[in-house]
Structure 1
Amino acid sequence: MKVKVLSRNPDDYVRETKYDIQRVPRNYDPSLHPFEVNREYTRALNATKLERVFAKPFLASLDGHRDGVNCMAKHNTSLSSLLSGSCDGELKIWNLTKRESVRTLQAHEGFVRGIVVRFCGTSFFTVGDDKTIKQWKMQSPGYGEEEEPLNTILGKTVFTGLDHHRKEGIFATCGQQVDIWDEQRSSPIRSFTWGVDSFSSIRFNPVETELLASCASDRSIVLYDMREATPLKKVVMTMRSNTLCWNPMEAYYFTCANEDYNLYTYDMRNLEQPVTVHMDHVSAVLDVDFSPTGKEFVSASFDKTIRIFPKDGGHSREVYHTKRMQHVICIKWSADNKYILSGSDEMNIRLWKANASEKLGVLAHREREATNYNQKLKEKYQHHPRIKRIARHRHLPKPVFHQSKELRVMREARRRKERNVRKHSKPGSVPVVTERAKHVVTVVK
C-alpha cells in the first residue's frame, strides 16, 4: 500500500529570524481588512512623530577662518572637496570627509568676492577687492615650491561676482559691467552694460550653457546670451536682488534672493510676474542654491536662519538655526543631494543634513523597506489635520518668531486696508493685484 506524505519547505512558513516564529500568511483582499485605514493612519501618525524625534540636522562645524566666510564653491568632480573664501582675503580648501582644512592660501588683499572651480576640476579662479582675477592649481604645491597663482589678471574696477562656463574655457565676471573672458586672454572678449552702476552676482545657466543672468544695483535682473552683442532683457523689481540661481533640471527657471525677505522663482520666457513667491524669512535673503535634483532649493538669510523650500512651494519645509550662528552669508547644496553647507559671519562653516531625520550610512534591506513604507504613509495622510500640524511644527529663535508674527499682522493690515478702499470706491477703479504681480515694476526688452 502507498502512503502519500505531505511535505512543506520551512522557508514558506518560518520567519527569517534565529527563532522559529511562524510566518502568518496574509490575504490582501480589501474586503477582509475593514480596519486597514485605521491601522495605516496610526502608523502614519507614529512615523510623523518619530521623524520629528530623530530630526537632528546639524553634523559638524569647520573652524579655521579668522574672519567672516564670504563665499564658497563646490568641486565639480570631488564630493569631499569644498573651497571657501573669507573677508580677510584668505582661501581654504576643505576635506569634508575628515572635516579639516587641507590647504590655506592668501589669495587677495581685502575680501574674497568670488570662487569658482574650472569645469574639469584641475584649477579654480578667485576674484577680490584688489581688482584682480587669479587662477590657482587645485593640487597643493610640491615640497619647496611657493604658493603662486598660475595666472593673474589686473582689472580696472573691483570684481563682485564670478562664474565659469560648464563646458568651455570661458568665465564671466561682474562689477561695474559684465565681462566674458577667455582663459587664454588677459582682456575680456565681450562686455555688457545697460545703464547700471554695478552688478552683484553673475550665473551661467547649467543647461542652456550660453545663457547668463545677473543681479544689478538698480533692482533689476538682467539676462544675456553670450552669442549676442547686447543683453536680452531685464526685469525691474521693487527691491534689489542679492543673488540668483538657475534650476539645474529646468533650463528656463531661476530663483532670486531679494532684500524684501522673499525669494522669487521666474520663468525667463515670461518675466511679467514670478511663477512663485517664496515667503518665510524675516530679513534680507543673502544667498540661494538649488539641489542637484532641481526639486528644492536652500536659502541663507540675514535673520541667522537657513530654510529649505520646494521649488513650487510658497513656504519652507524646513528651517535650520543654532544659538551661535550669526548672519548666514553663503550657502551650498552638495552634489550628492545629502548635505547642505553654510558659511556665516562668525567665521564658521557648518555641515547640515538635507533631510533632517535621515539616517546616514548603510541601511539593511528591511530597514530601507520600512523607511520607504513610512514615507509613503506620511505622503498618503499628509493632509490630515493632526499629522499636518506635527509635520509642520518648528521651534524658532525668539526674535525670528516674534518678527514673523509682526510681519503677518502687517500683511493682514495691508490686505484689510486694500479691501476697504475697494469697497468704498467706484467699481473697477481699484483693481485686484495678485501677490505675484505686486513685486515687478517693469520688464525692459
Structure 2
Amino acid sequence: MFKTISLYSGIGGLDFGFEEAGFETRVAVELDRFACRTMRLNRSAWSVIEGDINDVTSETILEKAGLEVGEADMLIGGPPCQPFSKSGYWVRGDTLRLDDPRSNTLAAYVRVLRETKPKAFLLENVGGLAYEGKDEGLQLLLDGIRQVNVETGTNYQPTWRVIRCVEYGVPQIRERVFIIASRDGRQFRFPEPTHASSKAPARDLFAPAMLPFKTAWDAFGDLPEPNDLEGLRVGGKWGDLLPSIPEGENYLWHTPRGGGMPLFGWRTRYWSFLLKLSKRMPSWTLQAQPGSAIGPFHWNSRKLTFQEMCRIQTFPDDLRVDVGRTEMQRMLGNAVPSLIAEILARSIRTQIFETPIDTPLRLMPPRRTPVAPAVKLAPVPEEYLGMVGDHAPHPGTGKGRAALGLPTAFDTKARRQA
C-alpha cells in the first residue's frame, strides 16, 4: 500500500478512488465536523484530524500518519473551490477569486507540500481555477511549487489538465482541474478520455474506439424505488410543476422555445432550476447547496436518495451516513467522483511508481439494460396556469440584473436572512 496524506478530505471522494488503486490514507485533514464524522464512521483505520489546515502543523500531520519528512508516497487534496466556482459567475457576474479570503487554502496546500516532501502529489479543484484569462489561482499554485523546488531541492514538474469526468466513465457531467507532479521530476501524462457522446463525430480512423457515456440509469437503475418518500418530496413554490417536465429537461421546457407551456422566459433561470435526470443521459453535476427547486431531480419527480447520489459520484456501495439531509447533500455535492481518482491513481502507479495494475476498474459503473421507459408526463397544475404569457428571454451575457448592478433574487434573499 502506498502511504498517503490527504488534505481537505471532505467525505473522502479522492481517498476512496486512491484506495481502490492500492493507496492507503494514513491521515486525513478536514475542517467540516460532519465530513469528519462520516469518514470515521466508514474508515476507522484513517487518522482523521478535525480542524482548519492553517492551524494544523505539518509536524502534526506527519506524526498522525506515522511518517517522516519525505516518506509519504502521495499528498492528495482538493482545497475548497468556492472562490473559483462557476456558480459564482451566475450570481454576481464574476467571483472574488484570489481576493476571497477562502483562497488562502491554496497556499496552505503548498505549505504542507514543502514541509512533507511527498514522492508525488495530486491537487484537485474546480475547472474555474484554470479559466482562460482568470487563471491567477492556477498560476499562484505553479509559482508556489517552483518556489518549493528552490527552497527544498525537490524537482516537482507539475502537469495539469481540466478533466470532464463524464469522458472517463463517470455517469455525471462534472468538470475538475487536476495538477500532478513527481518529486524526482518525472513528467506525468494524463490518460486520454475513453467515453464520448453517441452523437459525437467519429474520431481518427486509427484512434481507439470510444465507449458511450455512462448514464444515470447505469449508475442506479437497479435500485428499487424507496418505500418511504418522506424527505424526498420536492416542495416549495415549484415542486408541483416538476411532474409536467420530461426526463432530461428543465424549466426551459415551459418557455416559448420549449415544448410545454410559456411559463418562463428563455434562459431567465439558472440551468439547474427544475432539472430532471434522464435514464438515457449522464447526470448533471450534483449541487452542494441546492434551493428547493434546484436539481438534478429523479425522473420520478423527487429528490435523490443518499445511495443514488453515491452511485452518481461513483463512491463505494457500502458507505453510511448519520447526518441530516442538508449536511449529506453538501458533503456529496462538494466531493470528487471516486472513479476519476481511481483512474488517475492507477496512472500515477504506472508512470511514477512503476507498479501498474491491469485488473478492471473497480468503481466503473456497469452498463445496465434494458432501460425502463420514460415516466408519463403529468399536466400542468391549475395553480401555474395564470403564469402563461409572453415572457421575454434573458437579454444576454453581461446584460442581466447582476451585471448591470440591479437587485437580484439572490440579493433580496440575502437581505431577508441578514
TM superposition score normalised by structure 1: 0.24
Which of the pair has more CA radius of gyration? 1
Structure having greater relative contact order (Cα 8 Å, sep ≥ 6): 2
Could you say which structure has the higher helix fraction?
2
**Richer in strand (by share):** 1
Report the TM-score, using the length of structure 2 for normalisation. 0.25
